[in-house]
A and B are shown apart, each in its own frame.
Chain A
Amino acid sequence: MSFIETFQFILPEVILLVFALAILVCSLLMRSKGLLGALALTAVVLASLFLPRVNTTHASLFFNMLTDDAFSTFFKVICLFITGVIILISMGYKTLQSGHIGEYYFLLLSATIAMLLAVSSNNLIMIYISLEMLSLASYILVGFFKHDDLSSEGALKYFIFGALSTGIMLYGISLIYGVFGTMDLSAIANTLKTAPTNALISSVLLLFILAGLSFKCALVPFHMWAPDAYQGAPTSISAFISVGPKAVGFAVLLRIFTRNFLPLYADCVTIIMLVSVFTMTIGNIIAISQTNIKRMLAYSSIAQAGYILIGFVVGTASGTEGALYYIFAYTLMNLGAFGCIVLISNSIRSDNIEDYAGLSKKDPVSAFMLAVFLLSLAGIPPLAGFFGKFMVFAAAIGSKFIFLAVAGALNSVIAVYYYVKVIKYMYLDEPKATEMKKNPAPLQIALIIIMIGVLIAGIYPSPFLNWIRLSQVFFLQ
């Protein structure tokens, strides 16, 4: 394949880049939030049309810096879906004013390019660069309300934690280079197949990498930034960082550990298992006492990452399948929940859970959708979240990780309390008098479609499972 031909595989990235730059230029000429949003949305739709087909072969691109396989396509679909919904949420988010909106969409599209590159990177330095690019765009987006103290505080914390953890990761990469003499993942995997490595060295190496990615996925103990960043950021960006970087973090984790470093991976399974249990438990327990819904969802998404990690710890085909399904379901329901929060905050101008009292009477559609998304996050059948839990628990029990399955089960009971608390305010309590504004139709329709998706993925998950199975069948060869 000639160098020019390889560009067909990165057409989505190129389209996004062109549109991102175009948006920057356009924003000098016009300040309409709607038009710029529409332009960004067009970019995402076009990019998704040019996604590589799901295939069973894999192509190595740009001197094996990038790879194109079914696994990366799966995550590219998820990432583009996320950005599309986030743009719709941003367009319907009234607090987000037109000032600097061009930069906002530019950064969002840049972050998307970074995500697309990260999920297809096959080289440690490429992984590092794309993750840094994603992080830098996210830092600025979190601090986008520059006159709001909470927003700036969130961004600063996000930045400091991010800088520290990427530093650790970079150090880990340098050690890997020292041991293996290459940063190419396939080359490292080949070396590992033939020559056994010292268990201590390999654990240390992988833990450094894990530390860097734990920050992206907000795993304990690298989760401290999440609540402040989520609370301070514009809600559309909270939604974005709760799903986007997280999905990417897990994609990279799975690619490095499960695909390429499998022989090393056994050495740190216990540690990752503990990380999973602590992530679930700490996230869930702290979430109980939250009064701000964005902060509560921050802790909830920490806990959710713990469940995804179960599938990762198990490491078998069914474990990866469970993790992928969970990521898919989590993306749907968390985006949905944040979308509803944006709709609701447009009218009630508050993110306090107490102000949601009686919402079912004032805005029945949003309340109902939020209730469905929260119940799905809680893992109540027949919703997508339930089936995600089902898959990861099944993988854990199938591989005799009974402790992990029991911890996950107990945690999902704790979690129900705080999810249902929001529903209690919406449905059981009497409303305060607030004027409800008309909901922006595109966002509302998008949310209804996501809600139906959550229902279908829970009742009839077969098509999604087949898709996921296809995405990882090659991956485990």
Chain B
Amino acid sequence: MSFPILTCIVFAPLAGSMLILFTPKKNVNLIKVIATLATAAALCLSVLLLIKFNYSSPAMQFEEKAAWIPSINAWYHLGADGISVGLIFLTTLLSFLACIGSSGIKIRQKEYFFLYLLLSTGMLGTFTGLDMVLFYMFWEIVLVPMYFLIGIWGGQRKEYAAIKFFIYTLAGSVFMLLGILALYFTSTPHTFDILELTKTGGALTLSVQILIFIAFYLGFAVKVPVFPFHTWLPDAHVEAPTPISVLLAGVLLKMGGYGFFRISFPILKDAAHYFILPFAILGMINIIYGALVAMAQTDFKKMVAYSSVSHMGFVMLGLASMTATGFNGALLEMFNHGIITAGMFFLVGVLYDRAHTRELDKFGGLGVKMPVYAGMLSVFALASLGLPGLSGFISEFMSLLGTYPTFKLITIISSLGLIITAGYFLYMLQRILLGPVNEKWSAISDINKRELLTLIPLLIIVVIIGIYPLSALKYQIAAISALVQNLGGIAF
């Protein structure tokens, strides 16, 4: 039997959290070391995964399968393909960086890192689980630590934000559970295996597919989040502590999009075709509405939170295209948005740690006081608004390009979102970095080395993908073309 690399990736953080459970509360340094090592181990393994990954094959790789609950035919089944491998890497990378970035947590560190690692395992399991029951378990495991991480270490309205996040997501996912059960009972022989269902799901009648599709949609759309299920997002993102905002925006939102790629589209093909117009329209609403609301914000973090709503619209739009280009764009957009927004949230945190306010209007002229910070913020803001040469541009452009042949008007309107996005990001840069120096911040210090350390890996990825997109696209092209072929979409 070969080395179970995926199991190790998924459970490395859990092993760390168990160690932390038995570490004395007072020994904060040891706890931090354990947490960092556990996330670093997962990161190293996922890099190994990228190296060993055969990207010319659309098939599932590194599969592990073991009997789990034989009486209901549920298996412990893990695997990675072009769709998930990037997201696995993204999760381990952000888990590691946000773990380093967690030094701002000054209270109850033991509980924090315990929950943090548990969260990490939940996210990784979601992206690797190939059995519906396993997938659902990991999906739900994410909720509980996230509730505590927002609720204990969050901002002023933390309790409200935490319970709102919990109930919204749970409400979506219980319907997903019903969808899972419906798929199980409509398949012969009854199975929870996603790969098996991908082969047989197309045989269902359209009306059954539509019902199940809607059940899954409710689960995924809350996570993405798709308008009008997005209202938990600004609360949760704003109230969460910086490292948790990074994971929320960087990884959790991708779980929804991943669900569409892994379950809704490949298994329920006819329903997916049936729903592409609503997908395109909802994507357009997300892009435009998210961008407009972001523009109106005076709170830096809230602005970044709404920019996520806007960016996730491109994922929906790309999915609606049913073309290889659109799908590639959507999948890459998930990865890119994860990297860029993580950077943005780190940068918000840097400023907040020093100024203890996020009101954009209270800043001004910081470009002089914090030159390195200003440089970083500018690059990430430009990447986020889709400047060619940086990674955000590639994926958004591909989404729009792929969707244009099918939905011309919607694509045109959506591309206006790019202008609004440019508008609010530049306006933000102007209010923070430019203008006369606000005397209040005359003593503010520039970004420190540890903070730079968390940002530089992200920056490198943003630039590399921006200049040479194939470096990221090569992992997903084969899997996406297989998916498009399976869906009967356009291979362009």
Contact = CB atoms under 8 A, between A and B. Distances in A.
B376 interface: no
A462 B140 contact: no
A271 interface: no
Contact of A413 (B133, B136, B152, B170): B170
B152 A428 contact: yes
B188 to A, nearest CB: 13
B174 A410 contact: yes
B148 A460 contact: no
Interface stretch (B67-75, B264-272, B306-314, B357-365): B67-75
Nearest to A462: B69
B464 interface: no
Contacts of A406: 178
B161 to A, nearest CB: 11
Given A420-B147, A420-B166, A428-B151, A381 B178 contact: no
A453 interface: no
Nearest to A394: B181
A367 to B, nearest CB: 11
A420 B182 CA distance: 29
B175 interface: yes
A7 interface: no
A413 B163 CA distance: 12
A417 B171 CA distance: 11
A198 interface: no
Contact of A397 (B71, B72, B144, B182): B182
Given A397-B185, A462-B70, A465-B69, A428 B158 contact: yes
Main secondary structure of the interface of A (DSSP, over half): helix
Nearest to B172: A413
B327 to A, nearest CB: 30
B72 A381 contact: no
A247 to B, nearest CB: 22
A380 interface: yes
A477 interface: no
Contacts of B144: 375, 380
A375 B403 CA distance: 43
A409 interface: yes
B177 A390 contact: yes
A416 interface: yes
Interface string B108-147: 0001000000000000000000000100110011011001
Contacts of B71: 462, 465-466, 469
Given A410-B174, A420-B147, A381 B137 contact: yes
A115 to B, nearest CB: 28
Contacts of B48: none
Contacts of A394: 72, 181, 184-185
A382 B70 contact: no
B456 interface: no
Contacts of A412: 170, 174
Nearest to B110: A364
A428 B159 contact: yes
Nearest to A429: B159
A307 interface: no
A410 B171 CA distance: 7
A356 interface: no
A409 B177 CA distance: 9
Main secondary structure of the interface of B (DSSP, over half): helix
Interface size bracket, B side: 20 to 34
B137 A382 contact: yes
A405 B181 contact: yes
Contact of A420 (B140, B163, B175): B163
A416 B167 contact: yes
Contacts of A386: 137, 140
Interface residues of A, number: 29
Contacts of A382: 137, 141
Interface in A455-475: 460-462, 465-466, 469
B163 A397 contact: no
A424 B150 CA distance: 11
A380 B148 CA distance: 14
A398 interface: yes
Interface string B64-106: 0000111110000000000000000000000000000000000
A105 interface: no
A397 B178 CA distance: 8
Contacts, number: 77
Contacts of A360: 111
Contacts of A328: none
A345 B411 CA distance: 62
A460 B175 contact: no
A417 B175 CA distance: 17
B175 A409 contact: yes
Interface centre among B72, B171, B175, B184 (most CB of A within 10 A): B72
A413 B174 contact: yes
A398 B185 contact: yes
A380 B181 CA distance: 17
A417 B167 contact: yes
A427 interface: yes
A393 interface: yes
B170 A393 contact: no
B159 A393 contact: no
B178 A416 contact: no
A381 B175 CA distance: 15
Contacts of A460: 68-69
B68 A417 contact: no
B47 to A, nearest CB: 28
B174 A424 contact: no
Contacts of B184: 394, 397
A424 B162 CA distance: 10
Interface in A389-419: 390, 393-394, 397-398, 405-406, 409-410, 412-413, 416-417
Contact of A398 (B137, B158, B181): B181
Given A381-B136, A393-B177, A393-B178, A427 B141 contact: no
Nearest to B154: A428
Interface in B241-300: none
Given A397-B182, A420-B163, A462-B68, A381 B141 contact: yes
Interface string A149-173: 0000000000000000000000000
Interface string A424-437: 10011000000000
B416 to A, nearest CB: 37
Interface string A316-352: 0000000000000000000000000000000000000
A456 to B, nearest CB: 13
A366 to B, nearest CB: 15
A412 B172 CA distance: 12
Contacts of B167: 413, 416-417
Contact of B151 (A381, A427, A466): A427
Contacts of B140: 380-381, 386
9 shortest interchain CB distances as A-B pairs:
A409-B174, A381-B137, A397-B181, A413-B171, A381-B140, A428-B151, A398-B185, A465-B71, A394-B181
10 contacts: A390-B177, A393-B181, A394-B181, A405-B181, A406-B178, A409-B178, A416-B170, A428-B152, A428-B159, A460-B69
Interface of B: 68-72, 111, 133, 136-137, 140-141, 143-144, 147-148, 151-152, 158-159, 162-163, 166-167, 170-171, 174-175, 177-178, 181-182, 184-185
